[in-house]
Structure 1
Amino acid sequence: MSPSPKLPEAAGPAGGPLAIICGGGAFPLAVAEAARRAGREVVLFPVRGFAGPEVEAWPHVWIHIGRFGQLTAEMRRRGCRDVVMIGNVLRPRIRDIRLDWATFWLLPSAFRMLRGGDDHLLTSLGRFFEEAGFRLLGAHEVAPEILLPAGRLGRVAPGAEAMADIVLGCRVLDVTGPLDIGQGLVVMNKHVVAMEAAEGTDLMLARVAELRANGRIKMPAPCGVLVKRPKAGQDRRFDLPSLGVRTVEGAARAGLAGIAVEAGGVIAAEAGALIAAADAAGLFVYGVAPGAEGAP
């Protein structure tokens, strides 16, 4: 197993509770638990329509997309200065946005935010918070344990053919990342068969499974690798690529041999369950250390 890269230390508090703006999925609570273990108070700000009811077991304030003034006022009232944004949130439809007065004055900037890729949107949103006096942290800075390390992470190891696919996949993502296209792709026998775009990883894997089912992919299973890594130049405080049990299940249905990630650049809320699912399916999960031999 390759030596793990040095992962970041948990970010120290700047004073007051940590504000966690919560989308959907398991990551917001994983970050909240990590912050509490580190002795940090937290207040969750779940986004209506995306976060689940499980957030109500924590100190929380429900928020609507478009109520930036209300959100920042609540964070100040509760003494929060550090902010993490984590979880699944889709771009809203205009009719779903409920503006408050403070957000109204930001509309010209907000419209410019929406005219671009996800990196542009998230970085612009982060700038709003910083200009309002808050410190934006990445989820991995608060909970470094959610970052996947280097080397073989389960019982199954990638073979030479899979390693060649991993190297090619990383090189392709180095080229497409600055174009804000996606964070993942599938490579089989040194051939890119699918790239992640707006549909996300799960639907990309479903597309690969369909290509196998209709005979467009003729290589026998298991064959091929899902490769995920952050985009080159990406602001890592936002939208780090993630893996979960559903990803493993999708890779298995697509007939892949395994999954490769950039070590220290991909997060998993439940790494133990993910690895157990991969072992049960006979898939490898492998962390490529940046700059390691064989990696681009």
Structure 2
Amino acid sequence: MGASGDHSKTGLAIIAGHGDLPRLLAEECQASGRKYAVVEFENIPLVWASTHPVIPTIFEKTGQLISQMQDADCLEIVIVGAMNRESIDPSKLDDKGRELAIILSETMKGGDDETLSSIIRFFETNGFRVRAAHDVLPSLIPQAGVLTNIKPSDDDIFDASRAAEIVTGLGRLDVGQGAVVGQGLCLGLESIQGTDTMLEFVKNNREGYAPNPTGGRGVLFKAPKPAQDFRVDLPTIGPDTIRNAHDAGLSGVAIDAGGVMVLRRSETVSLANDLELFLWVRPKE
């Protein structure tokens, strides 16, 4: 639930998982002078966090974390970066940790969307506002259009449209946010293992599935799920995505306009140009 006003006056806790996004948000807060702290879990060491204010914690000590964020005047939070489903040590749980563990035990069977929504509700009930990463760094979400020198061909546009239909179906089932289609054929589907694993699968298994040797080489398409809460788990791409798409033999990458974050955009676009791939921010149909 967004509130109006100047959020930069309110402290921000960056609840950090793996990947570049937590670091990019911390650097943005640091550069803008916004009060912030990085929440670093014991089993997710953040090498880059040494130059930032850090709140160290473990998953079981949720009550302690809430108090630490309140003491740091960080009443807004952003939850970013990949996090594995960790085993919980019941002997370490504090009261709030036990409360959250019970909630998660009930919602995790329903899929990621239900789990993440329950986490958002938990923090909101405890007095925090949950923000989206692009609230902090709006440039993460590019405007519609082709960002690269290479443009998608008619074959690529067709494949992207077919992939968009597939991703919408996947999203309704709360399965994944990406698919690869080449010459109308689905070559790969994203599931819990993530985009990079899907692209590795396509790389190793695409032979024999391109009936037209002069047709499209395939397109990676990513989009949010139809019922996605844009504050958490919004799909992202970055330089690694481009490199892996190239290694998988694809023509390019298409993303849903307004619903996918591009990390390190300048580097991502430059790499796509160097590898002669297109990067298309596809308008919603």
Normalising to structure 1: TM-score of the pair? 0.89
Out of 57, 62, 79, the position equivalent to 2:73 is 79
1:263 aligns with 2:257: yes
1:286 aligns with 2:280: yes
Aligned equivalent of 2:57: 63
Aligned equivalent of 2:163: 169
Out of 12, 15, 19, the position equivalent to 2:6 is 12
User: What is the rounded CA distance, in whole Å, between the counterparts of 2:29 and 2:91 in structure 1?
Assistant: 30
Unaligned runs of 5+ in 2: none
1:224 aligns with 2:214: no
Aligned equivalent of 1:137: 131
Deviates more, 1:28-37 or 1:181-190: 28-37
Q: Secondary structure at the match of 1:62?
A: strand
Superposed, 1:144-159 pairs within 5 Å as 144-159=138-153
User: What is the rounded CA distance, in whole Å, between the counterparts of 1:198 and 1:249 in structure 2?
Assistant: 21
Check 1:246–1:136 CA distance in 2 against 1; reply closer, same or farther (3 A cut). same
Out of 94, 99, 105, the position equivalent to 1:100 is 94
Unaligned runs of 5+ in 1: 1-7, 291-295
Deviates more, 1:25-34 or 1:257-266: 25-34
Normalising to structure 2: TM-score of the pair? 0.92
User: What is the rounded CA distance, in whole Å, between the counterparts of 1:251 and 1:98 in structure 2?
Assistant: 42
User: What is the rounded CA distance, in whole Å, between the counterparts of 1:144 and 1:98 in structure 2?
Assistant: 38
Q: Secondary structure at the match of 1:90?
A: coil
1:41 aligns with 2:32: no
Out of 109, 112, 119, the position equivalent to 2:106 is 112
The CA RMSD measured in Å over matched residues stands at 2.2
Ranked by relative contact order (alpha carbons within 8 Å, sequence separation 6 or more), the top structure is 1
Q: Secondary structure at the match of 1:83?
A: strand
Offset of residue 96 of structure 1: 9.6
User: What is the rounded CA distance, in whole Å, between the counterparts of 1:289 and 1:38 in structure 2?
Assistant: 31
Aligned equivalent of 1:237: 231
The answer on whether the counterparts of 1:83 and 1:136 sit within 8 Å (CA) in structure 2 is yes
Check 1:132–1:259 CA distance in 2 against 1; reply closer, same or farther (3 A cut). same
Check 1:11–1:273 CA distance in 2 against 1; reply closer, same or farther (3 A cut). farther
Deviates more, 1:90-99 or 1:25-34: 90-99
Deviation per CA, 1:29-73: give whole Å up to 9, x if none: 211233344442111112222242211210111221222111101
Give the number of equivalent residue pairs. Answer: 281
Deviates more, 1:271-280 or 1:170-179: 170-179
